[in-house]
């Protein structure tokens, strides 16, 4: 009688199997995309509200935002995959926790800015992302330098987003 081999999802040292690591890391792409679809400016009321806001002259053209977030979300997913395939350790687990927090905060920013139209709260969420992104980089750098480097575009962009969101808030009190 032939035996059935059941694949192991967690390997030696707490490494996730490739298929599971891919599935988990893909959430760094899927969840922000779902939040953007749910609350983004393409929604009729959110789009009208957004177009009526007074924006600073340093705001990039609107098509830049989805392009930038595609690169950033992909980098976060690659970093998450690399960490998930690394042996379990306190820095790895903390880095993954910060990565998950960052993915949740991306959706939280969309919900606050476009969904609730709350400019002060969305500015605060953007600022929190700078800190949580820096913490991700610090922890990931102890485990996998390319995974840490994958967080740099996120931190740079959300630092800019904090300034931009704050400027929009100031112009639209």
pTM of the model: 0.83
Q: What's CA 162's distance to the chain center, in Å?
A: 14
- Distance separating alpha carbons of residues 152 and 105, to the nearest angstrom: 16
User: Would you tell me how many other CB atoms lie within 10 Å of the CB of residue 54?
Assistant: 9
pLDDT in tens, 54-82: 999 999 998 999 899 989 999 999 999 99
Q: What domains are there in the chain, each with its CATH number?
A: 18-52+59-171 (1.20.1260.100)
pLDDT tens for the chain, 173 residues: list them.
566 654 566 666 777 666 666 677 777 766 666 666 666 666 667 778 899 999 999 999 989 998 999 899 999 999 999 999 999 999 999 999 999 999 999 989 998 998 899 999 999 999 999 999 999 999 999 999 999 999 999 999 999 999 999 999 999 98
140, HSE (Cβ side, Cα atoms, 13 Å)? 29
Helical packing angle, 64-84 and 119-140, nearest 10°: 40
Tell me the residue length of the chain: 173
């Amino acid at each position: 009688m032939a035996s059935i081999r059941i694949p192991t999802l967690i390997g030696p040292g707490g490494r996730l199997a490739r298929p599971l690591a891919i599935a988990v890391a893909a959430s760094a792409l899927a969840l922000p995309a779902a939040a953007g679809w749910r609350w983004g400016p393409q929604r009729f009321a959110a789009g009208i509200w957004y177009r009526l806001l007074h924006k600073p002259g340093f705001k990039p053209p609107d098509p830049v935002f989805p392009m930038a977030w595609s690169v950033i979300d992909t980098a976060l997913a690659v970093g998450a995959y690399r960490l998930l395939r690394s042996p379990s350790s306190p820095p790895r687990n903390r880095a993954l926790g910060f990565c998950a927090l960052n993915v949740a905060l991306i959706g939280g920013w969309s919900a606050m800015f476009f969904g609730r139209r709350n400019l002060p709260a969305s500015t605060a969420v953007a600022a929190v992302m700078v800190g949580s992104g820096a913490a991700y980089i610090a922890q990931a750098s102890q485990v996998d330098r390319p995974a840490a480097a994958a967080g740099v575009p996120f931190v740079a962009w959300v630092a800019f987003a904090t300034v931009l969101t704050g400027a929009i808030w100031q112009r639209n009190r």
